[in-house]
């Protein structure tokens, strides 16, 4: 093997899989500036429009005033400040668990949690469409990995029957690239019948669905039966960071074993301070109003469908065709990058349209019209 970088990059280009960073010259929001053009952004995970919230901006400023800039060290040395602890108590209350632990990202939650709880001789059973961080964490753990076809309960049941050691089922509440939900009640029944545990990644559910935006487990009254509830502060909550909500015993073990927590500097205290305020907004009547606006916007974009999530994919298939559709939409004034392998399977490239409470009706109608012109209405 040689270090032939150009041949690798050329191959990526030839396969329609080349990726580039694009720079926004504006704030995050429904209208962004890219290369001197104003574009309507339908690709952010800021589902409730909280990144623009003056209350959150003020909370960040206040957090800096009270707690300074950096956190100084990892959580276990001297990097745990009061706002971290207050945020974790608020998250536990919000998720109706005994305790919660925050990490610098959702990715770090997965990487820290899964290998801390299972290892060689154990089995992890993953939904085929699980997010890359869940797959990476499963690999890192050294446990045997089994995969079931997306939302396939029959195959999950079969895998549970033959799994060895401690068995952890891993799935998402709302799937990040498809926007559909997992059959949570049935999965909970199955994992309980086999004495397995369940890790549910609620990255795209928290803030968006369930009473007060508490997610899918709360919507179905199953919070108490999901062993490990994972989520991020970077999507509907409009900031960054991730959390795991679970029993006190699990959280205490993670504090001792989760390497992405132990060997990484604590998240900025001002972020923790602001995230608690973001959580208050999400759970408040203002959160309900924002969720209502989001639902209405999704309904306007896809009138036939009942509301599941803020993610409205248009699956195109061929990678180069998806790139071309994205380029056409950009000419029409929209920012909707094509999502391709390895984020989704080869040949299932798509436009992942994400709707926000912050979009206005005119923006939604313009997108509907442009999708129609491209033959991409449902
Ligand atoms: C975004 C995402 C994550 C990672 O969260 P970050 O806070 O962005 O690291 C984890 N799981 C799913 C399903 C996601 O979509």
* Res 31: pLDDT: 97
Find the 110 Cα to ligand 1 centroid distance in Å.
9
Contact 351, 376 (CB under 8 A): yes
CA distance 185 to 21: 39
Confidence tier at 8 by pLDDT (50, 70, 90): very high
Cβ atoms of 300 and 364 within 8 Å: the answer is: yes
Give me the pLDDT at residue 359, please: 98
Report CA(138)–ligand 1 centroid distance (Å). 15
- Residue 294: per-residue pLDDT: 98
What does the pLDDT look like over 297-348, one tens digit per residue? 999 999 988 999 999 999 999 999 999 999 999 999 999 999 999 999 999 9
Q: Which residues on neighbouring strands pair with residue 265, listed in sequence order?
A: 74
Q: Which residues contact 172 (CB under 8 A, 6 or more apart)?
A: 127, 129, 130, 131, 134, 182, 200, 201, 202, 203, 204
Compute, in angstroms, the gap from residue 315 CA to the centroid of ligand 1.
Answer: 21
Q: Are the C-beta atoms of residues 238 and 54 closer than 8 Å to each other?
A: no
pLDDT band at 377 (very low <50, low <70, confident <90, very high): confident
235 Cα: distance to centroid of ligand 1 (angstroms):
8
Residue of 112, 232, 234 to mutate, ligand 1, most atoms within 8 A of C-beta = 232
pLDDT (0 to 100) of residue 2: 80
Distances (CA, A) of 128 to 1, 125, 169, 177, 182: 31, 9, 12, 12, 12
Q: Please tell me if the CB atom of residue 105 comes closer than 6 angstroms to any atom of ligand 1.
A: yes
Whether the CB of 232 sits within 6 Å of ligand 1: yes
Q: What is the best residue among 47, 105, 131, 170 to mutate for testing ligand 1's pocket, by most ligand atoms within 8 Å of CB? A: 131
Rounded to whole angstroms, the Cα distance separating 288 from 17 reads 39
For position 305, what pLDDT does the model report?
A: 86
What pLDDT was estimated at residue 1?
67
Residues recognised as catalytic: 45, 131, 172, 176, 201, 204, 235
Question: How are beta strands 338-339 and 123-127 bridged, if at all?
Answer: unpaired
- How far from 187 is each of 100, 127, 219, 228, 275, CA to CA, in Å? 23, 11, 15, 14, 30
DSSP per residue over 125-178, as a string? Answer: EEETT--HHHHHHHHHHT-EEEEE-TT-HHHHHHHHHH--SSEEEEEESB-TTT
Q: What is the pLDDT of residues 23-77, one digit of tens each?
A: 999 999 999 999 999 999 999 999 999 999 999 999 999 999 999 999 999 999 9
Query: How many whole angstroms separate alpha carbon 94 and alpha carbon 96?
Result: 6
Domains belonging to the chain, first-starting first, are 21-47+310-373 (3.90.1150.10), 54-282 (3.40.640.10)
User: Does 378 score more than 80 pLDDT?
Assistant: no
Q: What is the pTM for the complete model shown?
A: 0.97
User: Is the minimum distance from the CB of 291 to ligand 1 under 6 angstroms?
Assistant: no
Tens digit of each residue's pLDDT (9 = 90 or more) over 256-307:
999 999 999 999 999 999 999 999 999 999 999 999 999 999 999 999 889 9
Q: What is the chain's mean pLDDT, rounded?
A: 97
Tell me the mean pLDDT in the region 236-252: 98
Q: Which atom of ligand 1 is nearest to the CA of 175?
A: 13
Residue 24 contacts residue 33 (beta carbons within 8 Å): yes
Separation between Cα atoms, residue 222 and residue 206, nearest integer Å? 14
Q: Using alpha carbons, list the distances in angstroms from residue 322 to 20, 146, 250, 330, 347.
A: 15, 30, 43, 12, 10
112 lines ligand 1 (CB under 6 A): no
Q: Is the dihedral of CA 299, 303, 306, 310 positive or negative?
A: negative
């Amino acid at each position: 093997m040689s270090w032939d970088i150009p041949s690798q990059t050329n191959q990526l280009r030839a396969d329609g899989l080349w990726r580039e960073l694009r720079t926004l010259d504006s704030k995050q929001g429904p209208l962004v500036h890219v290369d001197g053009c104003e574009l309507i952004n339908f690709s952010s995970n800021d589902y409730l429009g909280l990144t623009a919230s003056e209350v959150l901006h003020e909370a960040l400023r206040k957090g800096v005033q009270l707690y300074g800039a950096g956190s100084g060290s990892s959580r276990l040395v001297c990097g745990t400040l009061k706002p971290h602890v207050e945020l974790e108590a608020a998250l536990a209350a919000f998720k109706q668990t005994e305790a919660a632990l925050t990490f610098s990202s959702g990715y770090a939650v997965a990487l820290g949690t899964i290998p801390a709880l299972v290892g060689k001789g154990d089995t992890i059973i993953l939904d085929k469409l699980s997010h890359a961080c869940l797959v990476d964490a499963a690999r890192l753990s050294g446990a045997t990995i089994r995969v079931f076809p997306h939302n396939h309960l029959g195959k999950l049941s079969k895998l549970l029957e033959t799994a060895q050691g401690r068995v952890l089922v891993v799935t998402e509440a709302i799937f990040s690239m498809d926007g559909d939900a997992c059959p949570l009640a049935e999965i909970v029944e199955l994992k309980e019948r086999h004495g397995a545990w369940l890790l549910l990644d609620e990255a795209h559910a928290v803030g968006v669905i369930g009473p007060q935006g508490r997610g899918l487990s709360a919507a179905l009254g199953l919070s108490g039966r999901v062993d490990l509830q994972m989520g991020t502060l970077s999507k509907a909550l409009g900031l960054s960071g991730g959390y795991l909500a679970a029993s006190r015993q699990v959280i205490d073990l993670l504090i001792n074993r989760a390497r992405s927590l132990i060997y990484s500097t604590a998240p900025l205290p001002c972020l923790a301070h602001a995230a608690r305020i973001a959580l208050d907004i999400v759970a408040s009547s203002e959160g309900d109003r924002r969720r209502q606006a989001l639902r209405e916007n999704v309904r306007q974009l896809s009138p036939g469908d009942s509301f599941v999530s803020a993610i409205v994919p248009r699956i195109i298939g061929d990678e180069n065709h998806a790139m071309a559709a994205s380029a056409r939409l950009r000419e029409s004034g929209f920012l909707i990058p094509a999502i391709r392998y390895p984020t989704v399977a080869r040949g299932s490239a798509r436009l992942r349209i994400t709707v926000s409470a912050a979009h206005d009706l005119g923006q939604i109608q313009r997108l509907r019209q442009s999708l129609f012109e491209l033959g991409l209405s449902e």
